[in-house]
Amino acid sequence: MKQYISSILMLLSSWSLFAQIDPGLLKRNPQDTSFQKSMNMDAIYNRPFLQVGKLPVSIGGYLEAHYQYMGEDGITEGHSFQIPRMTIFLASSIHRKIKFLSEIELEEGGKEIAIEFAAL
* 28 pLDDT more than 70: no
Mean pLDDT of the chain, nearest integer: 74
- Side-chain half-sphere exposure of 114, counting CA atoms within 13 A: 6
pLDDT score of 23 more than 70? no
* Least confident segment among 4-13, 22-31, 86-95: 22-31
pLDDT 10s digits, 62-116: 888 999 988 888 888 888 888 888 888 888 888 878 888 888 899 887 788 898 8
DSSP state of 23: G
Q: What is the DSSP letter of 87?
A: E
Phi-psi region at 74: left, alpha or beta (left = phi > 0; alpha = psi -120 to 50): left
CB 104, CB 87: distance < 8 Å: yes
